Amino acid sequence: MIKDKKISLKIETFANGEDKDLQLHSKLEIQNILKAICAQNTQSALYFAGEKNFFLTMLLAVDEQGIWIDPASHAPDNRNLFNSKEITFVSSHLQTKVQFVARDAYPVTYQGGEAIFIPLPQQLLRLQRRDFYRLATEPLYPIKCVMQATTNQTRIIQVMDISIGGLSLEYMEKDFRLMPGNIYPDCEIALPEIGTLTATIEVKNSFEVASRTGKVKRRAGCVFVKPNTDTTLPLQHYVAQMQRLSASTNIHR
């Protein structure tokens, strides 16, 4: 289940190569994401001449050539956009921020009215970060984390939610406890239909939760420590898979 959270339309900036694992290059996938944004009338932002100059807008249409966008109500904004050497489009798709940079925008006519045309981008960023959303695990698709709790003891712990940034674990407190600051290397997390990833996790917080029957468990919020592509790529695939499943379920309700 994806918990809805309003996505900020502020530009995300990265150091050189930092956004490599967030880039999509498939023309078909980029087109499908933009078509979904258009079909859902999702609010978007167009930035021009720096991060302080922008206007809010909506997509009018998308095809394999590019996108048609509703122009700004303030005419000088449109003129400045067309003269800008760098234009940044920011929107959201399935609770995930999407962003791309364009070099050209053209004034056109769409269905008898004024519009802005931007060629289809060659790459698009899907910014899957923990502060954008958290993906609760589905009962039908449970996830377990296998970790070395002590030198001679392995524990299998229920994952309650997961994202690119970390995960939440729930367990019965018996002879061990996940304490904030503790770091556990070589944790194995099996993602349904994706595979098993190995990661180092650090416990950030720990607290008690009580069920309706009064049974008390402990929950620990954890982050992935210096995740590499072997960790982030399977997580990205899993999150995207569950987002598609959630969207399909909502459509057929």
pLDDT digits (tens, 9 = 90+) for 62-103: 999 999 999 999 999 999 999 999 999 999 887 678 999 999
Overall number of domains in the chain: 2
Host domain of residue 140: 135-251
Could you tell me if 104 and 167 lie in one domain? no
Domain boundary among 105, 127, 149: 127
CATH code where residue 223 lies: 2.40.10.220
Could you tell me if 139 and 219 lie in one domain? yes
Residue 146 has pLDDT above 80, yes or no: yes
Could you tell me if 108 and 194 lie in one domain? no
0.85 surpassed by pTM = no
In-domain check, residue 29: yes
Residue 235 has pLDDT above 60, yes or no: yes
Could you tell me if 97 and 77 lie in one domain? yes
Q: pLDDT confidence of 252, banded at 50, 70, 90?
A: very low
Could you tell me if 55 and 121 lie in one domain? yes
- Within its chain, how far is the Cα of 165 from the centroid? 10
Q: State pLDDT tens for residues 172-221.
A: 877 678 889 999 999 999 998 889 999 999 998 888 877 667 777 888 98
Could you tell me if 142 and 240 lie in one domain? yes
Domain boundary among 127, 161, 185: 127
Nearest C-alpha neighbor of 93 from the set 2, 213, 169: 2
Q: pLDDT confidence of 19, banded at 50, 70, 90?
A: low
Could you tell me if 99 and 31 lie in one domain? yes
In-domain check, residue 223: yes
In which region does residue 53 sit, left (phi positive, over 0), alpha (psi from -120 to 50) or beta (all else)?
beta
In-domain check, residue 13: no
Could you tell me if 197 and 161 lie in one domain? yes
